[in-house]
Amino acid sequence: MIFTHPVLFNIIVVLFIAFTSGWLVYVLATRHAAQLRRKMTALEKEKENLQRHTQQLEAQLQQPYDLNKTPVISLSTAVKLNKTNDLGL
């Protein structure tokens, strides 16, 4: 066939190469698109979680804060002296 119809053989080879390369491009593009879809889904879930967390924090900010319930840490010298005496110094 190569010797009797060289043009036909060359056309078949070119079509085979074109089909194979087109198929490879299709497969690679499909994999890449699927990977991007998975990433987008994960990012959308993360965005929803962050929005829920932000709404919770904003709701906490809207609640009144009572200053009388705030713990006070004493920095007086009497507290420091008691701690040094407890150590036996």
> What whole-number distance in Å separates Cα of residue 4 and Cα of residue 1?
5
Q: What is the pTM of this model?
A: 0.51
Contact at 8 Å (CB) between 15 and 9? no
Question: What does the radius of gyration of the chain's CA atoms come to, in whole angstroms?
Answer: 37
Per-residue pLDDT tens digits for 34-67: 999 999 999 999 999 999 999 999 998 888 776 6
What average pLDDT is seen over the chain? 85
Q: What is the DSSP letter of 13?
A: H
> What whole-number distance in Å separates Cα of residue 59 and Cα of residue 53?
10
Task: Evaluate if residue 82 carries a pLDDT over 70.
Answer: no
pLDDT tier at 78, thresholds 50, 70, 90: low
> What whole-number distance in Å separates Cα of residue 30 and Cα of residue 28?
5
